[in-house]
Chains A and B, each alone.
Chain A
Amino acid sequence: MTTPSQTVGPFFALGLPWADGPFAVAEDFPGAFWLRGVVLDGAGEPVPDALIEIWQADPAGRFDHPDDPRGPVATAGFRGFARCPTDTDGRYAIRTVRPGPVPGPDGHLQAPHIDVSVLARGLLDRLVTRVYFPDEAANADDPVLATVDAVRRQTLIAKETDDGIAFDITMQGDHETVFFTF
Chain B
Amino acid sequence: MPDWKPPAPYRSHAPDEQPPLESPEYGSTRLRSPRQPLVALPQGLTELTGPVLGSDRVGPLDHDLTRQHDGEPQGERIEVFGRVLDGDGRPVRDTLVEVWQTNAAGRYLHAGDRHPAPLDPNFTGAGRAMTDSEGRYRFVTIKPGAYPWRNHHNAWRPAHIHFSLFGHAFTQRLVTQMYFPNDPLFDQDPIFNSVRDPAARQRLVAAFDLGATTPEWSLAYRFDIVLRGRDATPMEDEA
Contacts and interface: CB of A to CB of B under 8 A. Distances in A.
A181 B39 contact: yes
Interface in A86-141: 102-107, 110, 113, 115, 117, 119-128, 130
Interface string B29-41: 1111111101111
A9 B125 CA distance: 15
B62 to A, nearest CB: 11
A13 interface: yes
Contact of B36 (A65, A130, A176): A176
Provide the main secondary structure of the chain B interface. loop
B40 A182 contact: yes
Contact of B40 (A66, A127, A147): A147
Given A67-B7, A176-B35, A6 B49 contact: no
B226 interface: yes
A41 interface: yes
B1 A144 contact: no
B109 to A, nearest CB: 6
A113 B46 contact: yes
Contact of A7 (B6, B13, B34, B191): B191
B212 interface: no
B238 to A, nearest CB: 14
Interface string B105-120: 0001110110000000
Interface of A: 1-16, 18, 41-43, 45, 47, 49, 53, 55-57, 63-70, 79-81, 102-107, 110, 113, 115, 117, 119-128, 130, 143-144, 147-148, 152, 171-173, 176-182
